[in-house]
Structure 1
């Protein structure tokens, strides 16, 4: 392994989970952006060497702070951005092989995105039914006018909007934030998706109505057979809905595994830092306060090494020279940390602290 290796390893999953067909896979997925101009041009490493699997009828939460690369990863999966390197496979087929408008429309129908801001994603000049009906005309042209209307009402009811006919005839400003976000899920559901990319769907909503949207996601999985990639900075909500948890920092996935296993016994110091902001009596954790006050990760022309090292109270010499790879530290539980130990959820310094 070289100092430049960033990496990810395949996660060993429980037999009942591994038996499900893989819906979406990424292998070494990377996205870099050029920033600056002239002689000052530099490279921002938004996503680096991410390998993940999302299985059929599974909710996977992607957790991390702002700037960790979560939304960029979602946009790569949605084909908003092309990858710098690496591969995305949907149902075993590389997206690089998609050719023609029909194939690309079929993929976008199968993998729609629900955005963070429920108001800006709706056109204020049209009734909320407009986006759903227009999407149905584009992605399901076999439906007639009356059938499209009936389907719009069905998906509205499926996400908890009632009476559906009345709500669909309203304008966006006449709905609450929670209702507008449900319209976003209804629009995605109208395409008969296999995987919904939900980018911070509840972050702009009041706490009192977030639970309703989280319940919508679990119901869509149970009733409609939809998988969901739930992107959030709120690790508490991830515990509520997700089967598996991926923790992202500085463009890397630093920990992954079943949600309860990761939260009950986090192996990476960054996961501990996230959890320290949401104390849980079942898994009391402590993180050095100095780590929380440190600078965010350097992702513009980053040097080799762990990108969390400046904030980590357990950093050792290796953290400054080698980028840690994900390695298995428990059943289906991986972490990218030089000092994490498989038999102890608390990482310990294994060498002279740096």
Structure 2
């Protein structure tokens, strides 16, 4: 990875939940460390409720971190004081939401959102040139004829077309990193591939980086350069997508990979791996949050939270068992040498 554009250090976010007599703290994100470099797609995968969307909203400044910090191009977001600086950051790191219909105002044509965004975030474009810029970004995401799409209302477009409009709105700001939160999950399978290709073209042709949030392992493998696996608010494995999916080290990642339908393979998900209660994220105690579902659990897993360690070149894993196995492998190599 090149020098990071967007970086999180010990990023955490908690929420107070409960009533007057019983209150607790929900740990949505705990001590997340990651970076996104220039011109790469990083997939963030995990089950629903694992904290993926919370990370996106932290990066988009919808939520404020409870702990840790976010840095963009080396500058902490806590140092962004003026409205101009905040607008500049939000233009550089826009978000594309999961629901393509609710993210567009049904009372206005497509042109409204794009032209309004250009007026707010692109003062370098003269008012008379904004329409041409809107046509350019619509064409870039595969919406043609763009001049006709510009005047259509959201209800006149398909789900795939509406989501492309969302990417066009983000592209109009000249972004450096796009936060794409489940952008294809509400689309038919037959049209998902087209939108995934839009994402790869933004990376390859325009150098835009993307944080692609998904629970779909297959689409992550298709578009991503690197992958982060999240479970119960913690990142448990991260690295190049081929290594993470080709030979996963964390038991949870192994479960995700084994659950991907493959008619040619035998059923790999065992009852031992799928049993157990959902992870406790309200006032969780120490230890690995996957322990109750893990077939390899040890006593240390229930008492000590595993740190995220580099167990292979570029691959980080938070697992006591995987770390122990990696240490034994290194000892064997050293003994053989």
TM tier, shorter chain?
Answer: over 0.9
Gaps of 5+ in 2: 330-337
Count of matched residue positions in the alignment of Structure 1 and Structure 2: 327
Aligned positions of 1:273-312 closer than 5 A? 273-279=255-261, 286-312=268-294
Gaps of 5+ in 1: 1-16, 346-354
Q: Does residue 162 in structure 1 map to residue 136 in structure 2? A: no
Q: Secondary structure at the match of 1:255?
A: strand
CA contact (8 A) 1:325 1:337 kept: yes
**Residue number among 58, 61, 69 corresponding to 1:76 in the alignment:** 58
Bigger mean CA offset, 140-149 vs 261-270: 140-149
Q: Does residue 203 in structure 1 map to residue 188 in structure 2? A: no
Aligned positions of 1:1-354 closer than 5 A? 17=1, 20-279=2-261, 286-340=268-322, 341-342=325-326
1:25 and 1:153, CA in 2 relative to 1: closer, same or farther beyond 3 A? same
Structure with greater helix percent: 2
For residues 18 and 310 of structure 2, the distance between their equivalents in structure 1, rounded to whole angstroms, comes to 39
RMSD: 1.8
CA apart distance, 1:329: 1.6
For residues 96 and 117 of structure 1, the distance between their equivalents in structure 2, rounded to whole angstroms, comes to 29
Structure 1 residue ranges, 4+ long, deviating more than 6 angstroms after superposition: 281-285
CA contact (8 A) 2:259 2:268 kept: no
Cα deviation code 1:300-341 (max 9, x no counterpart): 000111000111111110111011111122111111111112
CA contact (8 A) 2:91 2:175 kept: yes
CA apart distance, 1:103: 0.3
TM-score (norm 1): 0.89
CA apart distance, 1:344: 9.6
Q: Secondary structure at the match of 2:21?
A: helix
CA apart distance, 1:284: 8.0
For residues 334 and 63 of structure 1, the distance between their equivalents in structure 2, rounded to whole angstroms, comes to 15
CA apart distance, 1:279: 4.7
For residues 229 and 284 of structure 1, the distance between their equivalents in structure 2, rounded to whole angstroms, comes to 32
TM-score (norm 2): 0.94
Which structure's relative contact order is higher, taking Cα pairs within 8 Å and 6+ residues apart?
1
Q: Secondary structure at the match of 1:215?
A: helix
Aligned to 1:3: none
CA apart distance, 1:230: 0.2
For residues 143 and 344 of structure 1, the distance between their equivalents in structure 2, rounded to whole angstroms, comes to 60
For residues 40 and 221 of structure 2, the distance between their equivalents in structure 1, rounded to whole angstroms, comes to 14
CA contact (8 A) 2:45 2:217 kept: yes
CA apart distance, 1:151: 0.5
Q: Secondary structure at the match of 1:157?
A: helix
Aligned to 2:333: none
1:155 and 1:167, CA in 2 relative to 1: closer, same or farther beyond 3 A? same
For residues 180 and 72 of structure 1, the distance between their equivalents in structure 2, rounded to whole angstroms, comes to 23
Q: Secondary structure at the match of 1:274?
A: helix
CA contact (8 A) 2:94 2:170 kept: yes
CA contact (8 A) 2:259 2:269 kept: no
Q: Secondary structure at the match of 2:320?
A: coil
CA contact (8 A) 1:64 1:232 kept: yes
